[in-house]
Amino acid sequence: MRILLVEDDEILGDGLCEGLRLDGHTVDWLTDGSTAEGALDADDFDSVVLDLALPGRSGMELLRHWRRSRHYVPVLVLTAYGSSPDCISALDLGADDYVVKPVDLGELEARLRALLRRANGHVDNRLHCGELSLDRADQMAWCGDTAVNLSAYEFAVLEALLERPGRVVSREQLESRLYGWDEGPESNSLHVLIHKLRSHIGADHIETVRGLGYRIVP
């Protein structure tokens, strides 16, 4: 998933970015609340990991602004104290869950997956379309009963397409999911990824919609 991390602690932020990226997620990291305020207006994210004590604007202020602006992306709050009045206030302002520092990366990812399931109306970590399926938790994909070995980028593309079966996902959406604010590799890298993914799951499963993007064929 593509994650916006808003955390001003350099050590914690760097550790979370490294761990989440190693597990295949795209992470965009901001350290200032004022800068983060407009992030959801400019880009699409699957989830936000938000510290409450930030320079510029506090996490509480960001939550209030985002929800009033009708941004419904799941927000997971980082807090130093569990069950504190701040946690209760954050949940009342629109946060979806919280984790207590020091953060266990496995728990953080499990909670993010749970928030994503809830936001998309799924009961588990599996996505399906026809004979294609994948499991977000295990980072596994199948075509029928056959397991498909995919790279992290190939998995991310398939995940994005399976989240919207039958609907077009634009090139810009896919590149944003893959690379975030970092500059991606060569301009044809997405085309190459789609070609490789088709070689794994069958070319007829992914349709190119000229000038618009790609979609999974139900």
CA pair distance 187, 60, nearest whole angstrom: 39
pLDDT tens profile 104-151: 999 999 999 999 888 877 778 899 999 999 998 888 999 999 999 999
- For residue 187, what pLDDT is reported? 64
CA pair distance 181, 104, nearest whole angstrom: 25
pLDDT tens profile 37-63: 999 988 889 999 999 999 999 999 999
- For residue 118, what pLDDT is reported? 87
| Strand-strand pairing, 213-216 and 169-170 | antiparallel
pTM over 0.85: no
Confidence class of residue 183 from pLDDT cuts 50, 70 and 90? low
Confidence class of residue 185 from pLDDT cuts 50, 70 and 90? low
CA pair distance 52, 76, nearest whole angstrom: 10
Sheet of 26-30: strands edge to edge?
26-30, 2-6, 47-51, 75-79, 97-100
pLDDT at 177 over 90: no
pLDDT at 196 over 90: yes
Confidence class of residue 184 from pLDDT cuts 50, 70 and 90? low
| Residues 146-160, mean pLDDT to the nearest whole number | 93
| Residues 82-99, mean pLDDT to the nearest whole number | 88
Contact by Cβ (8 Å): 141, 158: yes
pLDDT at 211 over 80: yes
- For residue 204, what pLDDT is reported? 92
Q: Could you tell me which of 120, 92, 111 has the C-alpha nearest to residue 48?
A: 111
Task: Tell me the CA distances in angstroms from 72 to 2, 116, 136, 141, one per residue in order.
Answer: 15, 11, 21, 28
* Helix spans in the chain (H): 10-22, 33-36, 39-42, 59-68, 85-93, 105-120, 152-162, 171-179, 189-201
Angle at 78 between CA 27 and CA 76, to 5 degrees: 65
| Strand-strand pairing, 140-143 and 126-129 | unpaired
pLDDT at 80 over 90: no
User: What's at 18, amino acid-wise?
Assistant: E
